[in-house]
């Protein structure tokens, strides 16, 4: 197999070929596992950071862990909310949601699932180092009615609480306490606990093996409460960073599915016999954020340029979004003008209108702000998280250079990148956000509102702040009248647009590749539920 991969990458640039060959050697090792009747092997360009469901608020990670752990309510193949660990729910008061829990459910270790596990999971998710605080931010109290009934009390009316908690995965109290992991470890500081590499959920798959950055193996849960719609005997996830090696593994048959196809390989794979390309629009918006809290520039200077609206607008108008769409993304992106994209409730076409690409205007704005010769900063970007993320950042560095701004690019793995963001160490960064509720309030709450350490502004790493948006965000959360609620959403989006609180880029297209005979459900939030995978 190594020689086959060597031939496939022959002729590429030396460094790239060497990297691909080195990765192929690793691939040969990790693929050496016993065959099963219906094994499924899939790959992406980066690993999941942890097996602890409260370690990081990231779509790929939470999607992966949702195969092991489960929420009270989940999404079906049409993205509609449906029962999971709760069979039904209703509001018993404007600020109280009652959840009726599913009976006769057991965790993977055989212990019963009860209301005590929900109360414990809420407490654990609230821990200061938990990254799930935004998911349960509206919940102020959980009350055990009986072993299979829980009341969740919110800080005022919350018409969409079931939608808000569909990524809050429930853990076993007895297992966590028995293994010394009643509190999550601080992943941003590189710490681990027993739950970082071990798992005990109620979901359709159980963790069999975990080798970080090498492979993670799952097997079906024979005691799952739901009727299995998959026919898999074993699932092996293999993170392969090198694009050439990842694609070669799919073509040669060692891999059944490629999650996130490199743009340069889309046409090739679409014409390869035995393979299929799957495409769908994604709800996620990819954008840049900036440090708007610090007084200094981070390099000993007295001014922070990102605090000046004219600078933020200049950077926005220096980005040639059409060039990114056509040349970098090769058409697999829809440019946006705000952080709430098409397909999300509350989308506002007026707020989504982009300001024009205008480098001459950008230079004038910089001069007006007192930076006629530009300035310098470090641009932090992942190289394995978003569709063509490294290439986007490289292109934007060149675009900024045209207006005299020097961005020193720092490319790193998603795990290092998000660790840096969670520690507040980045002044200019790339990020993407998918509202788990499919509602604009999720974006406003997490990305636009002022961080308060209590679930508000959890990924507003740059500290953008506007009191009116904060007030609107709080009002939207409790407003039951749809027309008034949508009007407030539109106002918040227009304020954020006018202040260039972040620099929006696009909604990327989800592009997967599978072998013939592999049937998967492709969600608009880029989640990948193994429970819906079938092999011919």
Cα separations in angstroms, 311 against 306, 365, 404, 509, 535: 6, 7, 12, 30, 52
d(Cα 369, Cα 362) in Å, to the nearest integer? 11
User: What is the torsion angle, in degrees rounded to the nearest 10, for the CA atoms of residue 395, residue 400, residue 403 and residue 407?
Assistant: -130
Which SS3 state, helix, strand or coil, does residue 233 take?
coil
Predicted pLDDT of residue 134: 86
**Residue 4: closest CA among 19, 24, 30:** 24
Cα separations in angstroms, 221 against 118, 170, 211, 527: 21, 16, 20, 20
**Residue 383: closest CA among 353, 409, 345:** 409
d(Cα 98, Cα 153) in Å, to the nearest integer? 9
Going by C-beta distance under 8 Å and a sequence separation of 6 or more, which residues neighbour residue 16?
9, 244
Cβ atoms within 10 Å of 349's Cβ, excluding its own: 9
The answer to whether the beta carbons of residues 375 and 343 sit under 8 Å apart is: no
Mean pLDDT (10-residue bins), the chain, 536 residues: 37 35 34 57 94 92 96 90 97 96 98 98 95 91 98 93 95 98 89 96 98 97 96 96 94 94 88 94 93 81 91 98 95 94 93 97 98 97 92 98 98 93 95 92 96 90 97 94 96 98 94 96 89 95
At residue 168, what are phi and psi to the nearest 5 degrees? -85, 105
Which SS3 state, helix, strand or coil, does residue 248 take?
helix
Predicted pLDDT of residue 188: 79
- For residue 534, what are its two tokens? 């079938």
The owner of tokens 């049937």 is 519
The owner of tokens 């090696």 is 245
Note the Cα 433 to chain centre separation in Å: 6
Predicted pLDDT of residue 18: 35
- For residue 527, what are its two tokens? 């989640």
Predicted pLDDT of residue 33: 38
d(Cα 125, Cα 446) in Å, to the nearest integer? 16
d(Cα 84, Cα 72) in Å, to the nearest integer? 5
The answer to whether the beta carbons of residues 116 and 205 sit under 8 Å apart is: no
- For residue 75, what are its two tokens? 């999404």
Cβ atoms within 10 Å of 177's Cβ, excluding its own: 11
């Amino acid at each position: 197999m190594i020689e086959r991969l060597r031939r496939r990458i022959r002729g590429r640039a030396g460094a790239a070929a060497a990297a691909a060959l080195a990765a192929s050697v690793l691939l040969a090792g990790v693929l050496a596992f016993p065959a099963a009747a219906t094994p499924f092997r899939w790959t992406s360009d980066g690993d999941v950071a942890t097996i602890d469901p409260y370690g990081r608020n990231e779509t790929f990670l939470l999607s992966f862990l949702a195969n092991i752990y489960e929420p009270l309510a989940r999404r079906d193949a049409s993205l509609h909310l449906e029962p999971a660990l709760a069979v039904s729910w209703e509001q018993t008061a404007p600020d109280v949601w009652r959840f009726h829990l599913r009976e006769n459910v057991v965790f993977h270790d055989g212990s019963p699932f009860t209301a005590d596990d929900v109360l414990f999971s809420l407490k654990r998710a609230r821990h200061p180092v938990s990254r799930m605080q935004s998911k349960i931010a509206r919940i102020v109290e959980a009350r055990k009615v009986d072993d299979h009934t829980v009341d969740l009390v919110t800080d005022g009316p919350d018409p969409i609480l079931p939608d808000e908690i569909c990524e809050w995965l429930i853990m076993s109290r007895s297992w966590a306490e028995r293994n010394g992991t009643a509190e999550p470890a601080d992943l941003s500081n590189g710490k681990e606990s027993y739950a970082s590499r071990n798992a005990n959920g109620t979901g359709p798959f159980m963790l069999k093996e975990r080798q970080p950055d090498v492979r993670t193996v799952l097997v079906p849960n024979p005691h799952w409460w739901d009727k299995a719609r998959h026919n898999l005997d074993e699932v092996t996830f293999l993170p392969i960073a090198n694009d050439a090696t990842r694609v070669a593994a799919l073509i040669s048959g060692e891999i059944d599915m490629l999650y996130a196809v490199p743009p340069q390989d889309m046409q090739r794979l679409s014409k390869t016999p035995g393979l299929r390309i799957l495409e769908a629009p994604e709800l996620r918006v990819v954008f840049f954020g900036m440090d708007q809290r610090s007084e200094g520039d981070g390099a000993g200077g007295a001014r922070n340029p990102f605090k000046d609206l004219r600078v933020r607008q200049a950077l926005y108008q220096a980005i040639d979004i059409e060039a990114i769409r056509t040349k970098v993304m090769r058409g697999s992106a829809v440019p946006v003008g705000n952080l709430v994209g098409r397909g999300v409730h509350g989308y506002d076409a007026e707020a989504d209108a982009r300001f024009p690409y205008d480098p001459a205007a950008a230079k004038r704005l910089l001069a007006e702000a007192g930076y006629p010769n530009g300035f310098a900063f470090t641009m932090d970007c992942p190289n394995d998280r978003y569709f063509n993320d490294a290439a986007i950042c490289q292109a934007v560095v060149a675009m900024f250079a045209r207006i005299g701004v020097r961005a020193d690019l720092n490319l790193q793995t998603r795990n290092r990148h998000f660790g840096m963001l969670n520690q507040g160490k980045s002044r200019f960064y790339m990020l993407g956000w998918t509202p788990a509720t499919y509602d604009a309030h999720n974006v406003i709450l997490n990305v636009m509102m002022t961080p308060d350490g209590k679930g508000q502004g959890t990924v507003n790493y740059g500290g953008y702040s506007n009191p009116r948006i904060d007030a609107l965000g709080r009002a939207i959360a409790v407003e039951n009248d749809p027309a008034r609620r949508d009007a407030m959403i539109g106002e918040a989006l227009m304020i954020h647009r006018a202040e260039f609180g972040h620099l929006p880029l696009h909604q990327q297209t989800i592009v997967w590749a599978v072998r013939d005979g592999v049937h998967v459900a492709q969600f608009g939030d880029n989640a990948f539920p193994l429970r819906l995978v079938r092999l011919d």
